[in-house]
A and B are shown apart, each in its own frame.
Chain A
Amino acid sequence: MIKMKRLLDVGIKKLEESILEMGSLASESVEFSIDSYLQGQDSSKEALKKSKAINSLNDDINELAFELIARYQPVASDLRFIKSCFEIAYTLSRFGRYAYDITLVTHEFGKLKKCDKSAVEKAGKQTIKMINASLTAFKKRDAKANINIHNMDKKVDEIYKTFIAEIRASTKDEDIIITRGCSVSASLILRYVERIADHATYIAESVSYIKTAKKYRRR
């Protein structure tokens, strides 16, 4: 007897492969950017290239997922899979962008040879492990992996909090504490604000797409 394959399955398989390819690129890109920072290398051009390649895969995944919905009106686990692929692909595209942002630090501040980079090294290693673990969970459809990955995330949060606390505790000089606090806080907030501004343009571009079908690449 001929075993019929659902037409939708071909698309779902392709989506899975594309997510895994994108995940592998994103993980590699994050690792590359952290290594570049640790070694004081300005790798922003290469990181930008990688980010664009990841974004391009995100576009392909969006196109395919969109097509599968339009053609097959998937339901149940098929629909949940496709919805998750949209979200995962977007998240992976953010990894590529953050990796590029990391390389910009060396590009803007130089090699930073005298800096203690151990916290970044530790958090970076843990984060790369998390990316790979989450991709393995996706591949195996392991519904329980999120508990372990959630615990791994707590360690990264802890490294960040400890690092901030250590900045404060590293001197008793009030002026230095204030100056550092001002610089670090303003840098962090400006970065977030700058990203929010970028995303505001994405909303406007999405509106344009609704009306004109013109597609914009995420940056």
Chain B
Amino acid sequence: MSNIKLKTESLNAMFNGQKAVDDVNLEFPKNTITALIGPSGCGKSTLIRTMNRMHELTPATDATVEGKVVLDNKNIYDSDVDPTLIRRRVGMVFQKPNPFPTMSIFDNVVAGLKLNGLRDKTKLREICESSLKGVALWDEVKEDLDKSGTSISGGQQQRLCIARTIAVQPEVILLDEPCSALDPISTSKIEQLLTELKKQYTIIIVTHNMQQAARVADTTAFMYLGKLIEVGKTQKLFENPKEEMTENYITGKFG
């Protein structure tokens, strides 16, 4: 059985015909964390947005995809695939914590489940508790589940968003710079959480923080101008990259 959960094959992503991701072939093994690094505008956020068909939802542009994103041997761009189902299987956490501001902490966690038709209150409570425990937030908010999702700190909000993502039991979690708006302590908690979550999920994280990639990722991929320049074991890539461009980027000589 293949160890690869997700892969891209000759993947191109365009905005109004302009390539933002250029012929990327990448594999993401199960239960690992892969970090995507590269300078701003290199296509890394666009790349992960193709992995749960969010790219095509980009407003006010003609956002298109060519090539394949294969999830468990099935191309998610095949005509018989339901994009909503894909987004349930491949969850996403964004740069800025975005709990639903009018909802309580409890409702934030179970929002996806309710959307999918689950109404059993006992079941919802169980999943809420296990999801909040899964992101190490339960002890901090268990007395305040009725309070607004925006009443807690930024770091807690981001963990709440991760809890909301895992509540629907995805298989892959995409994180787009999840710590860039957080303080170092909250960042550290998210990083610890990711290394725990990879036991159950396949994780792909976009980060501008190279030390973060070095700390949490098993594999790191470097992108530049839409192209995948180098991918390898994180330790190898940060100690002895194969490509001069990678070396120059990670040592801060450009970017």
Contact = CB atoms under 8 A, between A and B. Distances in A.
Q: Which of A8, A73, A75 has the most CB of B within 10 A?
A: A75
Contacts of B251: 6, 8, 74-78
A76 B250 contact: yes
Given A73-B211, A77-B247, A6 B252 contact: yes
B253 interface: yes
Contact of B210 (A6, A75, A77, A80): A75
A8 B253 CA distance: 10
Contacts of B214: 73, 75
Interface of A: 6, 8, 73-80
Contacts of A76: 238-241, 246-247, 250-251
A6 B214 CA distance: 20
Contacts of B252: 6, 8
A79 B239 contact: yes
A72 to B, nearest CB: 8
Interface in B183-242: 210-211, 214, 238-241
A46 B196 CA distance: 59
Interface string B64-95: 00000000000000000000000000000000
A75 B253 contact: no
Nearest to B253: A6
Contacts of B247: 76-77
A79 B238 contact: yes
A54 B68 CA distance: 61
A70 to B, nearest CB: 12
Closest 7 CB pairs of A and B: A75-B238, A76-B247, A75-B250, A73-B211, A78-B251, A76-B251, A6-B252
Interface residues of B, number: 13
A169 B130 CA distance: 82
A8 B211 CA distance: 16
A77 to B, nearest CB: 6
B184 to A, nearest CB: 13
23 contacts: A6-B251, A6-B252, A6-B253, A8-B251, A8-B252, A73-B210, A73-B211, A73-B214, A75-B210, A75-B214, A75-B238, A75-B239, A75-B250, A75-B251, A76-B238, A76-B239, A76-B240, A76-B250, A77-B251, A78-B251, A79-B238, A80-B239, A80-B240
Nearest to B248: A76
Q: Which of B246, B250, B252 has the most CB of A within 10 A?
A: B252
A195 B36 CA distance: 49
Contacts of B238: 75-76, 79
Given A76-B239, A78-B251, 20 more contacts: A6-B251, A6-B253, A8-B251, A8-B252, A73-B210, A73-B211, A73-B214, A74-B251, A75-B210, A75-B238, A75-B250, A75-B251, A76-B238, A76-B240, A76-B241, A76-B246, A76-B247, A76-B251, A79-B238, A80-B240
A138 B3 CA distance: 44
Nearest to A83: B239
Contacts of A77: 247, 251
A6 B248 CA distance: 12
B232 to A, nearest CB: 12
Q: Which of A8, A73, A76, A77 has the most CB of B within 10 A?
A: A76
A78 B253 CA distance: 11
Contacts of B246: 76
A75 B211 CA distance: 9
A75 B250 CA distance: 7
A77 B238 CA distance: 9
Contacts of B250: 75-76
Contacts of B240: 76, 80
Q: Which of B238, B239, B251 has the most CB of A within 10 A?
A: B251
